[in-house]
Amino acid sequence: SQTIHQWPATLVQPVGSPLSLECTVEGTSNPNLYWYRQAAGRGLQLLFYSVGIGQISSEVPQNLSASRPQDRQFILSSKKLLLSDSGFYLCAWSVLGARRSGNTIYFGEGSWLTVV
């Protein structure tokens, strides 16, 4: 069965410090990968998605970046964090090309980031 691992689970970082959140998926090949952000009590904002190694699409302009160095690895980074970057970050995956069967997205457990 497929599983998704995301870490760290919680993170407190000072303003201006770098960020690296990592996500890996097991049990599937060539998945679509996503990074979402959820502010406290708010909806899900898609930040990045990737349909393959090195292929990253950005949904919103920001000081965050994403990379996909391996098929099942997705990394969210920042060189300098802002206070507004605080939130709950969720990695997710779906089956590539599962258009007619519906694109069910499976989420990880999330990473709480507090920028102080």
Partner 1 sequence: QQQVKQSPQSLIVQKGGISIINCAYENTAFDYFPWYQQFPGKGPALLIAIRPDVSEKKEGRFTISFNKSAKQFSLHIMDSQPGDSATYFCAAFSSYNTDKLIFGTGTRLQVFP
The contact set with partner 1 (CB under 8 A) reads 32, 34, 41-44, 46, 49, 51, 57, 90, 92, 94, 96-100, 102-110, 112
Our CB check for partner 1 shows the closer of 86 and 94 to be 94
Q: Rounded to the nearest whole angstrom, what is the least distance from the CB of residue 42 to partner 1 in the complex?
A: 7
Our CB check for partner 1 shows the closer of 18 and 27 to be 27
Our CB check for partner 1 shows the closer of 17 and 58 to be 58
Cis peptide before 31 (omega within 30 of 0): no
Q: Rounded to the nearest whole angstrom, what is the least distance from the CB of residue 16 to partner 1 in the complex?
A: 27
CA-to-CA dists, residue 71 to 30, 39, 95, angstroms: 6, 28, 12
Sequence-distant (≥ 6) Cβ neighbours of residue 38 within 8 angstroms: 44, 45, 87, 88, 89, 90, 110
b/e code 88-97 from CB counts within 10 Å (16+ = b): ebbbbbbbbe
Our CB check for partner 1 shows the closer of 42 and 79 to be 42
In this structure, what token pair is assigned to residue 23? Answer: 């996500």
Q: Rounded to the nearest whole angstrom, what is the least distance from the CB of residue 22 to partner 1 in the complex?
A: 15
Q: Rounded to the nearest whole angstrom, what is the least distance from the CB of residue 36 to partner 1 in the complex?
A: 8
